[in-house]
Amino acid sequence: MSLDPSTLQDPPMSSFTFSIYHRGVFEKSKFKDYDSLLINMLDRSEVRASYLASIFDDDRDVKKGADTTLMWGQGVGKVSEKAPRTTSTYCDHGEYVASFLLGSNQVRNFMQIDTGSDLLWWQCGPCEANKCYKQVNPLYDSTKSKTFQKMDCIYGSRCYDSFDTTYTCNIYDHECKYNIGFASGERSKGFMADDVITFVLDHQSVLVTFGCGKDQSSGRSSFSNRYSGLVGLGRRLKVGSYSLPSQFGADLMSICLPWFYSGKGSSLSFHITPWRRTTSAKLLINQKFPLFYFVNLYKIFIGDKLLPVHPSWWKFTKGGRKSGVTVDTGTTITNFPLDLYIVFRYLFRREVGDIPVVKGPHKSLDTCYKDDPKGRPLYFPDVKLYFGEVNQKNMLLLSKERVMIHFTGYYCLAFKGWNRSHSVLGSTQLQDGKSPYEVLFSKAPSLAHLRVLGCSCYASTLPKADKFSERSRPAVLMGDVTFQENVLPFAKMSSLNHSNELIQPYTDNWDDANSLVSADHDDDNTMSEESSQDVSELVPR
């Protein structure tokens, strides 16, 4: 079943940091099992790759709007669409969802995030009849936010109608109108406005410019009611972009991507200075595609074998239109140029050894291996990505879980080839099996202080009579329980018993002792589980 969004808790985090979740957390109820959920995710990745291919193939700037022909893959049905040149068209299949507190009244909403988009928009009430879809989260109402204000496109210079056909300035009501379409048929119309978003930890509010969505009904299909809008995370531009990095003035974006089958959240942060103790990749400026995060991939090792390809595969040519490596959170698996992928695949299969390659369960995966019939684990080599130079600090180590996708009884290589000169690093390779503590301190946290419930422990004696009195009393670690304060099972126990053995309550009947602990837990007494999340992070420097 899907998780109830109202039960998802935002952990305390610093300013310019948001909680993110994989969209699978919200959509599990739509699928009968894990395998069908993963197949649908791979289908979306194929659509996303087609969308990116249409941009890379177009001779014009992506900001001007590109013709797109997108084909939905297996399990989704085939759809082919030519987007008109009069409007920008985006792919709305973001794989991750961010939590936001909107307006002065801090309405909590969930929105999909997209590193290939430059517009932040959400549904904006009050809505006319049948113009807004009924969303699961409370609808943001601009009339109830004291900090809401429309953008004036006549007396201001912040309406980017001269940069992008998505925006137009209405000279009659001074509204900066936006009209954005999505490749799968959805459309949002409204006007640009300003309001605050609030960060959880320090309750700092920051003013942002966003699209106030007043009409989400004019498209060929409807938006999912699980999300309130879209967060554009396109790379920072000095002018012509409403993406969050542009608005925050952030040169760095740190994303810890949670696993798609995880029910826990992770973090999305914006920075102006580098983080230490992280895997870093330098951002490269691509004048042709300024919104995308191109990185300085240098060399690839499979196990200890260097992938024998020329470095020119990773560098721009022809003004950025050819080659280069970009990071994209909406693509599940990594796409390499076909010729390069053939070399990569050959070396990987050779390193795997004698395990036979079989036909996979999905058309996009061509290097698959069946589970061992006796349940024995299969060995697959690590893949090492080096950025800038061969240096431990610049290495992204991909272990089995980030190299292979496991489903329907197969392990399949999470890389593929495509007929494009650009490479796209997908989200599977950007996930990791590390907790935030390990990412921050480059070491696993110590668990030496943890003890098993029921073991002996010592409770401080309060108040202390004098300096010669005993400082603690022997006890039993019971965990999070509710005690009956009128029953004292240790009252007859000698305080001098300092044995290391398990100390049992003073009672002749264990049933009586067990009855002392209530199974009912109040919310205030429930221990909150530490948000230790399987995450990955690629922090630009």
List of domains in the chain: 9-32+91-274 (2.40.70.10), 277-435 (2.40.70.10)
Q: Which of 178, 177, 174, 199 is CA-nearest to residue 187? A: 178
Give residue 356's pLDDT.
Answer: 93
pLDDT at residue 173 in the model: 92
Structure tokens at 451: 């003890």
Find, among 138, 148, 147, the residue nearest to 100 by Cα. Answer: 138
- 18 CB neighbour count, 10 Å cutoff: 23
Residue 400, H or E segment = helix 400-403
Q: Are the beta carbons of 104 and 173 closer than 8 angstroms?
A: no
Q: Are 55 and 290 in contact (CB under 8 A)?
A: no
What is the DSSP secondary-structure string of 55-83?
A: HHH-SS-GGG---------TTT-----PP
Q: What's the 3-state SS for 110-144?
A: EEEEECCCCCCEEECECCCCCCCCCCCCCCCEHHH
CA pair distance 104, 142, nearest whole angstrom: 10
Q: Each residue of 214-260: pLDDT tens digit?
A: 999 877 778 888 889 998 888 877 677 888 888 888 777 777 777 66
Q: What DSSP letter does each residue of 419-465 carry, written as one string?
A: SSS-EEE-HHHH--SB-HHHHHHSSPPP-TT---TTSEEEEEPSS--
Residue 60 has a pLDDT of 44
Longest dimension (CA), the chain: 87
CB 31 within 8 A of CB 75: no
Q: Where are the beta strands (DSSP E) in 133-264?
A: 149-150, 167-169, 176-182, 187-198, 205-215, 229-232, 252-255
Backbone angles phi, psi at 326, to 5 degrees: -120, 150
Cβ-contact 364, 42 below 8 angstroms: yes
H and E: helices and strands count for the chain: 8, 32
- Tell me how crowded residue 220 is: count the other CB atoms within 10 A of its CB: 12
| Beta bridge pairs of residue 98 | 20, 111
How would you list the strands of the sheet with 410-413, edge to edge? Answer: 368-370, 410-413, 404-407
Three-class DSSP category at 166: coil
pTM of the model: 0.66
Residues 444/445/447/453 CA torsion (nearest 10 deg): -120
pLDDT of residue 131: 93
Q: Are 329 and 379 in contact (CB under 8 A)?
A: no
Question: Is the Cβ–Cβ distance between 472 and 459 less than 8 Å?
Answer: yes
Rg of the Cα trace of the chain?
A: 27
- List average pLDDT for each run of 10 residues in the chain, which is 541 residues long: 51 65 79 83 86 73 34 30 33 73 92 85 92 92 95 86 85 92 84 89 83 88 86 78 85 71 71 60 82 89 91 74 84 92 95 92 92 89 92 87 90 94 88 51 58 75 76 76 57 45 36 35 36 33 31
For residue 83, what pLDDT is reported? 27
pLDDT at 476: 78
Task: Supply the residues annotated as catalytic.
Answer: 114, 328
Residue 255, classed as helix, strand or coil, is strand
User: What is the distance between the alpha carbons of residues 99 and 110, in angstroms, rounded to a whole number?
Assistant: 5
